[in-house]
Amino acid sequence: MSLRLDGKNALITGGASGIGRASALRFAQEGANICVADRQAAAAEETAGEVRKLGRKALAVAVDVSNPQQVQTMVERAARELGGIDIVLAAAGVSAANYGEGPIESKFLNELPFENWRKVMSINLDGVFLTCTAVAREMIKQGRGGRIIAISSGAAKVPLKGSGDYCVSKAGVWMLMKCMALELGRYNITANAIGPGVIDTPMTKEMQSDPRFERMIKRTPLKRIGKPEDVANTALFLASEEGSFFTGSILHPDGGVIMQ
């Protein structure tokens, strides 16, 4: 039985942990070579090592996705060392401006400092724009089509009180994928978003200690938190031949919470 991504090359940002890491391993299981890109160089190398254990080619790249030059260098290196890029998964993101620096600050938009807004946008939206457009240029040059996938959120559709910057950034990611789908279809390049619900990742660890979290799970029809693998399998579908007629879509691995 042939592997679904046999011989394909994938670039994954945010690949050192959570959804990005799970996707890197899932893609590798299905035959893809992987460029693992992340701010955390050591963690990216650890994920790349796991990919190599699966028999695939892998490289780790340290990158700040909000930095245009770093992103361009990342794409050029991935294309050169892997032999082109067939798939990009833009999974790098933050839940708030102080993500990774202590308890997440929840602020209403009218109280939100502009610098906080800009930091979230620079990573969650600008970073996806820079990554996906740089890869698109490479795919057009290669002339063999490709798959562009970006991690959005259920918050692209459902507003969250105190997280307006996050919600707006993720809604922007969804619209970005729709615009890219419209413009890149003639090159046989698809562009889709994934809007997960609550997933068990480092980003949601703090949330899980909040009493409201249990109530959220109870409102979820499947009555559980999602796993990174749930999202990775969605990304695999979009990256594979089975997803070849999807473009401009957003898929929601969310246990049914967004439909309510």
What topology is assigned to 9-253 in CATH? Rossmann fold (3.40.50)
Q: Is the separation of the CB atoms in 149 and 87 below 8 Å?
A: yes
Of 11, 244, 246, 44, nearest to 136 (Cα)? 11
Instruction: Give the per-residue pLDDT at 257.
Output: 87
pTM beyond cutoff 0.85: yes
- Dump pLDDT digits (tens) for 3-38: 999 999 999 999 999 999 999 999 999 999 999 999
Average model confidence (pLDDT) across the chain: 94
83-104 pLDDT per residue, tens: 999 999 999 999 889 888 777 7
* pLDDT at residue 129 is higher than 90: yes
Residue 151 · residue 89 · CB < 8 Å: yes
- The three-state secondary structure class of 182 is helix
Q: Categorize the per-residue pLDDT at 260 as very low, low, confident or very high, splitting at 50, 70 and 90.
A: confident
End-to-end alpha-carbon separation of the chain, Å?
A: 39
pLDDT digits (tens, 9 = 90+) for 52-69: 999 999 999 999 999 999
Residue 146 pLDDT more than 90? yes
Q: Catalytic residues, which ones?
A: 166
DSSP three-state, residue 161 = coil
* pLDDT tens string 176-230: 999 999 999 999 999 999 999 989 888 777 667 766 677 778 888 998 989 999 9
